[in-house]
Every structure is written in structure tokens, then in C-alpha cells.
A and B are shown apart, each in its own frame.
Chain A
Amino acid sequence: MTDLTELGIAAIRDGVRAGTFSAVEVAEAFNANIAAAKALNAFLVETPEHALAAARAADAARAAGEELKPLAGVSIGMKDLFCTAGVATTAASHILEGFTPTYESTVSQNLWDAGAGMLGKLNMDQFAMGSSNETSAFGNVISPWRRKDGGNAPLAPGGSSGGSSAAVAARLCPGATGTDTGGSIRQPAAFTGISGIKPTYGRCSRWGTIAFASSLDQAGPMARDVRDCAIMLEAMAGFDAKDSTSLKLDVPRWEAGLSPSMAGKRVGIPKEYRVDGMPAEIEALWQRGIAWLKDAGAEIVDVSLPHTKYALPAYYIIAPAEASSNLARYDGVRYGLRDLPQGAGLQDMYAATRADGFGSEVKRRIMIGTYVLSAGFYDAYYTQAQKVRTLIARDFQAAFETCDVLLTPTAPSAAFALGEKSADPIAMYLNDVFTVPSSLAGLPAMSVPGGLDEAGLPLGLQIIGKPLDEQGVLNAGLAIEERAGFTARAGRWW
């Protein structure tokens, strides 16, 4: 029998429907792969029974001749930022150790309603703050990929959705949820040779998703290919009255709308994304992407996004400012860790709990956020950043007058080694240079694999679309996918 963990979401769904294999067989196969992959540290909590229960329900529905749900038989991984009822949820932070939500996030509930089951909760950068998965309080996730130089240096799976990217790339799950605040779906997808899409801000409800920077946070799927992302996003998205920024729109049938033809479409190439010191390999990858989209029938146009270089500094005001406010809730009173030194009063308890519970990158961002919002600095930093954000969004608006989607590299390099950038916060922040601008503008954006670098590591291409045009993004992604013929995978060493 074929190894069921080699199958993606569409193939599993179709196979279960056709009766080629049972949903329970699928869940068991992935559970076994997870049990054998502890070395990757991708999962914080394993929930084999959750996956099996959903699988049994799918098999029973099929046996009874009922119509199967859209994700019946599909087991997925859940980033630990999503609250899951009865299953520990920590956002990979010590401060939430022992927290077991009594409710289900809207996105995860949507997936269960669509018939999916959960294989476990995935490791991540603490509170989604990081680009390498090194800020987790529960250890680094190790990328399944290794450089072909034989050095075996453990590599970063990207971040913050590093457990998700590693798990999908290592065939521990056919798809996983991610969240993206400044690139946390797209950069890890690029680093591990998989696909991932951040939809338009407001497509996926934020209710029950642990907040980092509320004006930027968006959930999205990470999976092996574009079709699987479309299927999973359809299940995750949808209006939710419990999130005031949720968009009251029907969920398009993205999978049915998939088409790799780019005839009549114009693809913009933003000149400001050709940054100083960009490796030749990234430039070559970009040129290949341009050629593939031309081959698919697209017309290539040069566009300018003049405020691109200001996106990262604006982001590092806005995101920490929102984080410092959102994370004020961790006070040692209502949930999570409490550190009450002998004889301490209430204020000391707050300060001790937070100093103990938050990791150093989280504290660094809370400090930056508190500083830029403090009296006397608010206008110079926060208001100025929000004005620059308006200009960045206008840049995109102007560019989209002459093109339908934008094509850029996803990240300025392939995966780096763990520890290589962690000593210098700004070097780490710069890794998100290509993903942050579209986040600030709330636009849908996706990463698809585009090839390998000289060390044999995956590189990703990013497609950015107009607001609500996930279909255009997915279709351009499909056009690249069909031409890139990316079949490389991490050799199993774990």
C-alpha cells in the first residue's frame, strides 16, 4: 500500500471519499510519523485521539452513505496560537504553561466543522515573535532540511510558524494552520519548501487566537501545494460576529476557481525589492519566477513601491506597540503563571510574574512598545508609523492600477543555521523585509517554492494580491508551481 503520509490534503480527501483507504488509516499513519519525529520538536502537544475521532466520524459517515464534509478524513496540525478546548495552549510561552482553554478558536472550530481532525499543537516562536522559532520557551524546532555540505548544522524552519512548516515539510501532517503578522506564514513556508497563504486582513476570524499585533494578525494555511492551501483556507475563513474586524463576506470557492493561466494578467515587479546585498541566487530565482509567469501568459510590468524601505521600521513600532497593550493581560491573576515572591504586594506580583513568564524577545518587544507609546514619544513614533503605513498602503494601491499581482522573493536568503542571527535582533528583523510591507497593507500574499539554492535549500517566491483577491494570488502561485516542478524534499535523518 502507498505511504498515506506522502499524500496531500486533496489526495487524502479524494481517497477517503472514493474508499481507496480509510480516514482512520490516514490518521494512524500521521500519528506514527509524529511519534517517530521527536527530534524535530515540531509538536508541543500530540493529540492522536482527536485525529482518530474525526477520522472515525468520517469513515462512519461514508459507511452510512452520508455526504462527506469538505475536509473529512484530513488530519492537520494546529499552531499553538489557536485556543483549543481542553487541549493545553501556551503560544510557546512559559507564562501560559498549564493554560487549558475552555473554548475553541473560530478558525479551529471552522476546521473541525469541516470534518478535519487535529494531530497536535505545533511549536512556534513565543507569542509569534520571531523569524527562526528560536524564541519558543519549549526549545527550537529543527528544520527537516539540511545543507548538502554534510555539515549537518541544525537549520531554522523559519518563524514564527516554524512547527507548522517543519511538520508539513517532514510529512508529519498534510497541512497546518499558521498565523502571519509580518511574514510568519510565508517565510517559514519558503524556508521549508512548502506553500502558505496569508489572506486579506479580516478573512479569518481572530477570535480565540492569542493576540500579538491585532491590526496585523491573520491566520492562514500552510500545506504542500497551492490546491491544498485553497481547500484549507476555504474551511478556515468566514465571517465571525465575535471579531469586530471580521469581513462580512461570503467565502469564495477558491479551489473551484483555480486556474494556472495568466493570460491577460499583468504581474508587477517592484524595483525597491532589489535590496542591497541580495544574494545572486535570490535574484536568479526571481528571474525564473518572472519567466514562468510570462510563460503562463502574463505580461510583466515594472512598478515602484517608494516607501518599501520604511516598512520594517514602521512595523517595529506598530507591532510592539500593539503587543505591549495585548500582553498586558498576563498578570498572574486570571490564568497562567503566577510568581508571588514572599511578602510581595500586587504590583510586585505582576512584575515578578511577567519577568519570569515572558521570554527575552517578548520582553524586548514589550519594552519597545511601552517606550514608543509613552508620554512625549507617542506622536513621534506611533503616529508617524501609522502615517507611513498609510503611505505604504497607497504605494500598493497605485501599483495595482497597472498590475493584477506582484511577484517578489519571499525572503532575502534561504534558511539560516540556528543561532546564526539570534544575537542581533535587527539582523533577525531584516529577514522579514519582503513580507512586512504587504502585512502593513493587509493584502493577501502567498509563498510558493521556486527552487533550491547552491546548498540544496528551498527558496520561495512571493505573490502579493489586491485586497480580497486571494484567487488571483492562488492562481499565480499555481502557474509558478506547475512550472517550477519543485519535487525536492528533506532527506529523513530524524
Chain B
Amino acid sequence: MSVDTTTVKKVASLARLAISDADADKLAPELSNILGWIEQLGEVDTAGVEPMTAVIPNQLRLRDDVVNADPLTGGGIRDALMSNAPEAEHGFFTVPKVIE
């Protein structure tokens, strides 16, 4: 699979990564190489094989329906949650204006 610069830019946009033309030009052959190498997987006959969903059989659990059963993942920790925000005001995360 050959990846061209246009595809690289489209994927970068999907991944929310700003990319310069020069970087896209550089990345295109790199990704082509890696994807070309990966493509050998197509040789494997996987007819009737289920895709793996869990490496070790495990049943998903339900937690008890209790508020703040584990304080680490419970509520009432707004200040802790926001303490690492690059910009926060009045207990809110701030972002650039998204509506006109």
C-alpha cells in the first residue's frame, strides 16, 4: 500500500496533528514502508477465526450502585481535577470561542 502526501494530510487531520508540507512529504514514504511490511498479514488464512477480544478470559464486573464507593473515582474533586488545566476559570476548563 503506497501512501501519498494527500492521504498523510487527511490522516493527520483525523488525528488532530498539525503537519507541514515538508513533514507530510517525509512521512509518506515512511508510512508506505511500514504499511507495506504490515501487509504480509494478508497472507494468513483467517477464515472462521474470531478476532481476539480478551487475552485472558475475564468477565466484566458491575460495581455496586453506591455513590462515591471509591473516593478516587468518585465525585466532589473538582479542584483536584482542574489543578493541571493549562487554563481554567471559575471552575471551568476554557477553550477558544467555538461559536460566532
Contacts and interface: CB of A to CB of B under 8 A. Distances in A.
Q: Do A and B come from one complex?
A: yes
Interface of A: 98-103, 200-202, 215, 241-242, 244-245, 247-248, 307, 309-310, 313-314, 316-317, 324, 328, 331-338, 340, 344-352, 354-355, 358, 363-364, 366-368, 370-372, 374, 380-381, 383-391, 393, 425-426, 440-442, 467
B73 to A, nearest CB: 6
A387 B51 contact: yes
Contacts of A314: 41
B70 interface: yes
Interface residues of B, number: 54
Contacts of B37: 313, 316, 426
B76 interface: no
Contacts of A244: 60-61
A363 B16 CA distance: 10
A7 to B, nearest CB: 34
Given A384-B41, A390-B52, A426-B33, A349 B58 contact: no
A328 B42 CA distance: 28
Contact of A442 (B8, B55, B77, B81): B55
B46 A388 contact: yes
B14 to A, nearest CB: 5
B17 interface: yes
Contacts of B97: 345
A215 B11 contact: no
B97 to A, nearest CB: 8
B61 A387 contact: no
10 nearest CB pairs, A to B: A442-B55, A386-B51, A338-B86, A335-B84, A355-B18, A387-B46, A351-B18, A102-B80, A370-B15, A350-B16
A370 B30 contact: no
Given A310-B44, A334-B93, A358 B17 contact: yes
B38 interface: yes
Interface string B87-100: 10000010111100
B42 A384 contact: yes
A437 to B, nearest CB: 12
Nearest to B51: A386
A324 B15 contact: yes
Nearest to A307: B44
Contact of A102 (B42, B46, B83): B83
